[in-house]
Amino acid sequence: TKKSVEGESKSSYFVINKSEQKNAVSEEPSLDDYENIPIEGFGLAMLRGMGWKAGGSTSNSGSVFSTEPPLVRPRGLGLGADRITSSLIQKSVTKTGETLELAKGAYIEGFMDDDEDEENTPGYIDPDDVHFLRSLDPKNGSWQDQDHYAVLGLRKLRHKATEDDIKKAYRLKVLRHHPDKRRARGEEVHPDDDYFTCITRAYDILGNPRNRRSYDSVDPQFDNSLPVINEHSRNNFYEVFGKAFDLNSRWSEKMPVPKLGNESTPRGNVEKFYSFWYDFQSWREYSYLDEEEKDQAQGREERKWAEKQNKATRAKRKKEEMARIRTLVDTAYNMDPRIQKFKQEDKDRKMAAKQAKKVAARARQEEEERKALAAEEEMRKLKEEAEAEQRAKLEAMKAERETQKRALKKERATLRKIAKENNYYAKDTSEVIDNMASLEKICECLRLDERIAFLDGTGAPGVQIVPFHCLTQYIQ
């Protein structure tokens, strides 16, 4: 379809659909094509490009002929071509019946039809929103406030978009909104204040992994709010807090991130979940929000000061972010019905263990008391038996002593009787008294068996009677 740019007096813009362009140009030139062109052909081509016409001349008066903008040749035309001839371009009729015409100084560009463009647009890329793009502010400093994903048409994917998705989205934006493309469609473009700068800035941010992570950390569409403690969150705990944890799991350095689960989740998994989140390591950082621009600092000291200020601000925001995550985990832990059930089970188990311990201690004490009583009873019995045995022994000894005493008394009487009958074995009266004293000593000192043996000896025939005083000395 033929289109012309308003306000352009020297050149016109024409558009050829790709399907028609195939018929409009010959095969792409090769190296042999260029080698077949004479050397003067290159010079003539350069002169023609500068506006020189065959048969023209330059006067000696110094008048200068006017020049025209260089002709942009379509792909497939060599360096020596000055126009698209009928042999190269077969006049084709468009769907509307118009004849394609080319004029000198025209720009030719191939692009897809709008319908074909829309059909080849991936489903994850938003429909083109020109009004939104024109509302962007391309001035320096305002690019930090723009939604880069929205600019590239990736509102649906956002942080889930792959590098390939971002490249495809950017290419589509370039095809549709590049200043040259828009000029070709007759749109007035102001290079110093054009929204395409915002598209380029968006790709500079999202096309670089480091810059993208910095932007994703402060994604304006991310919900930093935490679930509110109310009746709804208590009754729908797993739904409300599961969504919050899934949302914040994107910041985790460790993957995979465990799920909150439900009321039937095993206790081990629940404990692992809270252990993971209480030791949560986030890659989220805040360099995108740096207030001091280090690159614009005048000197080394100013750059160091700017870097110091930015680091302090980042550290403060990082601390606030970790406090936010900890608040989320603490709130969930305190409201989790499974944790409350586990705590009650632990409490009951501790109480049962404590009660069992008390019962065991009481049983052990009773057993010890029983054993002590049994031992005491055994000791009492042994003591009584020992006492009875001792009494019996004492009684036996007493009876024996009584028996010996009676026998001794009897033997003493017998000995005195024998001594008396023998006149105390004295030769004269004076010796009787001494022998009587010796007899008493004999009765006191000799044992019963010795006395019996002595008495038996005194009555035996042929026994020599020993004088009492000699016997007394022997006994002493």
Give per-residue pLDDT as tens, 160-183: 999 999 999 999 999 999 999 899
Angstrom distance (rounded) from CA 166 to CA 365:
78
Confidence band, pLDDT 50/70/90 cuts, at residue 437:
confident
pLDDT score recorded for residue 38: 67
Separation CA 186–CA 192 (nearest Å): 18
Rounded distance between C-alpha atoms, residue 65 and residue 76, angstroms:
30
Average pLDDT over residues 397-421: 80
Q: What is the CA radius of gyration of the chain?
A: 64
Task: Please give the pLDDT value at position 171.
Answer: 94
Instruction: Encode pLDDT of 192-209 as tens digits.
Output: 888 999 999 999 999 999
Residue 172, pLDDT score: 93
Instruction: Kindly report the average pLDDT of the chain as a whole number.
Output: 77
CA pair distance 260, 468, nearest whole angstrom: 121
Q: Does 124 score more than 90 pLDDT?
A: no
Q: Which amino acid is at 245?
A: F
Nearest to 206 by CA among 164, 248, 176: 164
pLDDT at 257 over 90: yes
H helix or E strand, kind and range, residue 305: helix 300-335
Question: Coil, helix or strand for 416?
Answer: helix
DSSP-based three-state secondary structure for 466: coil
- How confident is the model at residue 67, as a pLDDT? 46
What does the pLDDT read at residue 95? 42
Residue with tokens 């395409």: 196
Q: Are 86 and 25 in contact (CB under 8 A)?
A: no
Q: How far apart, in Å, are the Cα atoms of 269 and each of 57, 235, 265, 276?
A: 92, 22, 7, 10
Contact in structure between 267 and 307 (CB atoms under 8 Å): no
| pLDDT attached to residue 327 | 96
- Residue 60 pLDDT > 60, yes or no? no
- What pLDDT is stored for residue 228 in this prediction? 92
pLDDT band at residue 116, thresholds of 50, 70 and 90? Answer: very low
Contact present, 181 and 210 (Cβ < 8 Å): no
Return the percentage of the chain with pLDDT > 70, whole number.
67
Q: Report the percentage of the chain scoring pLDDT > 90.
A: 41
Query: Does the CA dihedral 90-95-97-101 come out positive or negative?
Result: negative
Phi, psi of 378 (to 5 degrees): -65, -45
Tokens 């468009």 appear where?
94
Buried b / exposed e along 368-406 (16+ C-beta atoms within 10 A): eeeeeeeeeeeeeeeeeeeeeeeeeeeeeeeeeeeeeee
Whether 278 shows a pLDDT value over 60: the answer reads yes
Statement: residue 439 has pLDDT above 60: yes
In whole angstroms, give the CA distance from residue 64 to residue 84: 28
DSSP state of 296: G
Give the pLDDT of residue 37: 64
pLDDT at 471: 52
Widest Cα–Cα separation across the chain: 211
Predicted local distance difference test score (pLDDT) of residue 470: 53
Whether 408 has a pLDDT exceeding 80, the answer reads: no
Q: How far apart are the first and last CA of the chain?
A: 168
Least confident of 226-230, 257-261, 420-424: 420-424
Six-digit token string for 45 = 């081509």
How confident is the model at residue 396, as a pLDDT? 86
pLDDT at 217: 95
Asked if pLDDT for residue 399 goes beyond 80, the answer is yes
Flag whether pLDDT at 34 surpasses 90.
no
CA–CA separation, 282 vs 319, rounded Å?
A: 11
Distance of CA 455 to the CA centre of its chain: 113
pLDDT confidence bin for 26, thresholds 50/70/90: very low
Find out whether 199 and 177 touch, Cβ atoms under 8 Å: yes
Q: Which two tokens stand for residue 457?
A: 């000896």
pLDDT at 269: 95
Q: How confident is the model at residue 306 (pLDDT cuts 50, 70, 90)?
A: confident
Range with the largest mean pLDDT of 6-15, 78-87, 129-138, 415-424 = 129-138
Per residue in 209-245, pLDDT tens?
999 999 999 999 999 999 999 999 999 999 999 999 9
Per the structure block, which two tokens stand in for 317?
A: 């925001």
Q: How confident is the model at residue 2 (pLDDT cuts 50, 70, 90)?
A: very low
**Looking at residue 107, what DSSP letter applies?**
E
Residue 15 pairs in a beta bridge with 109
CA distance 144 to 147: 8
Nearest to 223 by CA among 88, 328, 116: 328
Q: How many CB atoms lie within 10 A of CB 260?
A: 23
The Cα 291–Cα 351 span in angstroms is 58
Q: How confident is the model at residue 145 (pLDDT cuts 50, 70, 90)?
A: confident
Question: How many beta carbons lie within 10 A of that of residue 29, not counting itself?
Answer: 16
Q: Which of 39-53, 136-150, 218-232, 389-403 has the lowest average pLDDT?
A: 39-53
Distance CA 12, CA 174 (A): 22
Cβ-proximal residues to 238 (8 Å cutoff; 6+ apart), any chain: 260, 261, 262, 263
More confident residue, 150 or 119: 150
pLDDT of 51 higher than 80: no
Residue with more model confidence, 387 or 91:
387
